[in-house]
Structure 1
Amino acid sequence: MTRRPHETPARHGRRRLAFAGLVVAFALLLSGCSPVEERGYLPKGVTSLSPEITSFWKTTWLWALGMGVLVWGLIIYCMVRYRRKKTDTGLPPQLAYNVPIEILYTVVPVIMVAVLFGKTVQLENKMLDTTSQKNQVVVNVVGKQWSWDFNYVHEEVYDAGAQAEVSRDTGVLEGSLPTLYLPVNERVEFILTSRDVIHSFWVIPFLQKMDMIPGKVNKFAVTPTEIGTFQGKCAELCGAYHSQMLFEVKVVSKANYEKHIQSLRQRGDIGFLSNALSRSSLEPDQQQYLPPNIQKSEIVEGK
């Protein structure tokens, strides 16, 4: 590092000490991160693709932070280094342009955006892939104002949900949430449809969500890797009781999954629950559910 003629040794030493202090402070900050901070404040993922999603999220933010620090540093450096001094008279030398720097400032951002776009598309293709691997469980999730129905396609049973009951004092009442059961370590394909307006299927620890659009079939697949109960919700404003359009996902062992499927059969929830129903098509004193009037193939094949 070259020393400016007017810079004293003491001042030069203080600058180097301050720089070293910043490096040490940044290193200590990183080493003291909690698990939440290490994930970039994302929820803990519970699918086979979660580590890759989390890594991409963190890498993107670290590169963005690095570029931000560089730009802020250059701005502050110019403000301090070229500030007007009391001894200055008139304006400093004016520069019209600098072709090499302008090319650098154009090419580097273009390369960065291209790389980010390519990596995003690559990961997105993995998240939306439903054909490269065998889907062991297929669930048609039907969104409706303001709850969820679950058609277990291969097992030919369904579970019809009702709107969650919420208390001002205690929150969601126990046992009132529609519950989707999934077997651990088995690939699950979600086939998403809506009966009325646009909804969005979001299981928070899956680290991905997808819209449910009337008249359109959307799909994605995940492999849950941890047993537990996880929260889900609608992530698209869909009407007056959008905030109560909640559900939960229970990832269980294969044996417990089969036990749940058998309980649905014993309850009489056999077949394929219609995707054509809506609140407005039924009388107030009727249930929201009628015998199926739509073929499974019309949903599974995306028609």
Structure 2
Amino acid sequence: MRSAGALGLLALTATACSGEASRLGMPEPISDQAERMLKLWQGSWIAAFAVGAVVWGLIIWAVLFHRKRSDDLPPQVRYNMPIEILYTAVPFVVIGVLFYFTARDENYVEETTKNPAVTIDVYGFQWSWQFDYREKTAGQEKTVASVVGTPADPNKPVGTKPVMTIPSGKTVRIRLHANDVIHSFWVPALLYKKDVMPGYTNEFEFTANKHGTYEGRCAELCGVDHSRMLFQLKVVPPAEYDKFIADAKLKAGGAK
């Protein structure tokens, strides 16, 4: 018992000293929505540890204090109404609390706004991605910039990954489209993924708050080169994003 207690204390101490360990296997979140999901994940673990501690405490208590001491039958507690009500009520309370926080955070993560700062149409295809940046002008929406990835070729090494550039601190809406098979848009640092389905437009929003370049990939088996269907998410300051869009418009105008 002393050895087990020491090992448990050591594990808890090591977890508290490491930011990565405190995320319990999750990557570092880069958006407001990802932060909320991380807190839900950590809260669920705390609840699990609490329930586990109670269960193990009861087991150890029974082992230590109710060992067989004679052939006499110990007092029985069946049909004890208060205890049976407790057995039933406590699990319902635990489930109810977890359901409440899960539903609350799911609503927050899936919420969309009327006028996001940035709207990007994402097209998944075998086996790469296309990012179309959309803007509203005179009530009509049009594409002002487009990034198209080169389809992966099993006979060639992985080429340059398409990059989705977004501004930090701004609401970004992602609209997902596919014309061939089901794909899945996944950026681990967002702690979120969503299916890209033919004939149906999925969408979600997020607000990134940490600059950097983050890896993304398809998370749905979609064919022979599924594992090479990669992209990157680049979070930049708003001024740098505005320059990116302005350069794209200038390039498009020159192409015409």
Q: TM-score, normalised by structure 1?
A: 0.71
Quote how far apart the aligned CAs of 1:236 are. 1.6
The 1-side partners of 2:105 and 2:27 are apart by 18
**What's 1:146 paired with?**
127
- 1:130 aligned partner, one-letter code: T
State the distance in 2 between where 1:269 and 1:128 align: 36
Q: Indicate conservation of the 8 Å contact 1:201/1:235, yes or no.
A: yes
1:110 to 80, 88, 92: 92
Equivalences for residues 76-87 of structure 1 within 5 A: 76-85=60-69
Instruction: Tell me the secondary structure at the aligned position of residue 153 of structure 1.
Output: strand
- Counterparts in 2 of 1:1-303, with a 5 A limit? 25=9, 29=13, 32-85=16-69, 88-89=70-71, 91-131=73-113, 134-154=115-135, 156-164=144-152, 173=158, 176-265=160-249, 268=252
Superposition CA RMSD, Å: 3.0
- Structure holding more strand per residue: 2
Q: What is the CA-CA distance between 1:197 and the residue it aligns to?
A: 1.6
Do the aligned residues in 2 keep the contact of 1:46 with 1:226 (CA within 8 Å)? yes
Q: 2:154–2:225: 8 Å Cα contact kept in structure 1? A: no
Query: TM-score, normalized by length of structure 2?
Result: 0.83
* Structure 2 residue ranges without an equivalent (≥5): 136-142
Alignment deviations for residues 244-292 of structure 1 (CA, whole Å, 9 cap, x no partner): 111101111223323333444455499xxxxxxxxxxxxxxxxxxxxxx
Query: Structure 1, residues 16-39: CA drift from partner, whole Å, max 9, x if none?
Result: xx59x6699369616742011122
Higher relative contact order (CA 8 A, sep 6+): 2
Aligned length: 246
Letter in 2 for 1:103: I
The residue matched to 1:60 in structure 2 has which SS?
Answer: helix
Corresponding residue SS for 1:159: strand
Distance 1:95 1:114, change over 3 A: closer
**1:86-118 deviations in Å (ceiling 9; x for gaps):** xx2265454433221111111111121112112
State how far apart, in whole Å, the 2-side matches of 1:24 and 1:69 are: 12
C-alpha deviation, 1:201, in angstroms: 0.9
Paired with 1:159 and 1:31, the residues of 2 have a C-alpha distance of 41
Partners of 1:80 and 1:24 lie apart in 2 by 20
Q: What is the rounded CA distance, in whole Å, between the counterparts of 1:84 and 1:24 in structure 2?
A: 29
Would the alpha carbon gap of residues 255 and 96 (structure 1) be closer, same or farther in structure 2, given more than 3 Å must change? closer
The 3 A distance-change label for structure 1 pair 181 and 31 is closer
Aligned-pair CA distance for 1:139: 0.4
1:125 to 1:76, Cα distance in 2 relative to 1, 3 A: same
The one-letter code matched in structure 1 to 2:101 is K
What CA distance in whole angstroms lies between the structure 2 residues aligned with 1:210 and 1:125?
Answer: 15
Q: Is the 8 A contact 2:123 2:178 kept in 1?
A: yes
Cα deviations across residues 181-232 of structure 1 (Å, max 9, x unaligned)? 1112111011112222221111111121111122111111111111110011
Structure showing greater radius of gyration is 1
2:140 aligns with: none
Whether the aligned pair in 2 keeps the contact of 1:185 and 1:224 (CA below 8 Å) is yes
Residue of structure 2 in register with 1:298 after alignment: none
Conserved 8 A contact 1:47-1:225: yes
Q: Which amino acid aligns with 1:136?
A: A
CA contact (8 A) 1:193 1:214 kept: yes
Whether contact under 8 Å (1:183, 1:252) holds in the other structure is: yes
In structure 1, the gaps of 5 or more residues are: 1-14, 271-303
What's the secondary structure of 1:222's corresponding residue? strand
d(CA) in 1 for partners of 2:224 and 2:253? 29
